[in-house]
Structure 1
Amino acid sequence: MNPRYDATQPEHKVRKKTAAKLSFVIIVVLVLLAVMNPGKEDFGEYAVNHLEETLGVELAGGITSLVAQPMVESFTIRENYILFSTFSIPDIQDGKTFIGDIKAKRKYLGLFKIIFIKL
């Protein structure tokens, strides 16, 4: 017997620990994505806040909550993919939207209830 081949390889133990830690982190992130998948209410809140930034004018808080957010939510189409959602809303800055072109949409990717990325 050659003692060189009988000894355990320390590199393999380190690799297994690193792989286990990485797997754990990936599983935790996937569970967080699923649990914190945004809904229409979350997107409605984001859209109203983004509208205020775009206009550069602060809208009245109570009126915005009572009128604008439910209106945005009613126009929003949500596609749920368990880990994330996509949201489609009519592109109101496009004049064609109001004369019959219902295909003009803005799409957003929603993650963790607070991150919305325009696609």
Structure 2
Amino acid sequence: MNSRYDTPSPARRVRRRSGGKSFLVLILVLIVMAVTNPGKEAFSEYSVKNLENMLGKEIGDGITKQVAQPVIESLTVRDNYILFSVFSVPDLKNTNFFTRDGGATKKYIGLFKILFIKL
């Protein structure tokens, strides 16, 4: 027999797998995503804040809660994918919005109740 393979080499170390920890972190992130999946109300709040930024003015709380948010919620279509949601809002700049076609829509993906990304 070859004595080279009989004695362990100190330079050769066995790496431990960290797959279990990575899997646990992935499961934890997926659970957090499912729990914090945004609804129409969170999206309407985001849209009102976005509208305020576009206008450069702050919309009063009374007007926001009584008019702007319900209008945005009624125009929004939400597709729920459990971990995230896709929101479709009609593009009001498009003139076809007021016809039967409905016109173009803007789509946003919502994550963690605070992150909305325009698609």
Normalised by the size of structure 1, how large is the TM-score?
Answer: 0.85
% identity of equivalent residues: 50
**How many positions carry a matched residue from both structures?**
114
RMSD, aligned CA: 1.9
Partner of 2:19 in structure 1?
19
Q: Which has the higher helix share?
A: 1
User: 2:8 matched to 1:4?
Assistant: yes
Residue 98 of structure 1 and its aligned partner are, at CA, apart by: 2.1
Letter of the structure 2 residue corresponding to residue 20 of structure 1: G
Residue 61 of structure 1 and its aligned partner are, at CA, apart by: 1.4
Partner of 2:49 in structure 1?
49
Partner of 2:83 in structure 1?
83
Which whole-Å CA distance do the structure 2 matches of 1:115 and 1:21 have between them?
A: 26
Kindly report structure 1 stretches of 4+ aligned residues shifted beyond 4 Å.
none
Residue 10 of structure 1 and its aligned partner are, at CA, apart by: 4.5
Q: 1:97 to 1:41 in 2, by over 3 A?
A: same
Structure-to-structure mapping, 1:20-35, within 5 angstroms: 20-35=20-35
Residue 20 of structure 1 and its aligned partner are, at CA, apart by: 1.6
Larger CA Rg, structure 1 vs 2: 2
Letter of the structure 2 residue corresponding to residue 49 of structure 1: K
Which whole-Å CA distance do the structure 2 matches of 1:98 and 1:55 have between them?
A: 23
Q: Unpaired segments of 5 or more residues in structure 1?
A: none
Which whole-Å CA distance do the structure 1 matches of 2:22 and 2:103 have between them?
A: 42
Residue 113 of structure 1 and its aligned partner are, at CA, apart by: 0.4
Structure-to-structure mapping, 1:85-100, within 5 angstroms: 85-100=85-100
Which whole-Å CA distance do the structure 2 matches of 1:56 and 1:96 have between them?
A: 27
Q: Unpaired segments of 5 or more residues in structure 2?
A: none
1:50-100 CA-to-partner distances (Å, cap 9, x unmatched) read 111111121111111111101100111000001000000110122221234
* SS of equivalent residue, structure 1 residue 27: helix
Q: Which moved more, 1:60-69 or 1:99-108?
A: 99-108
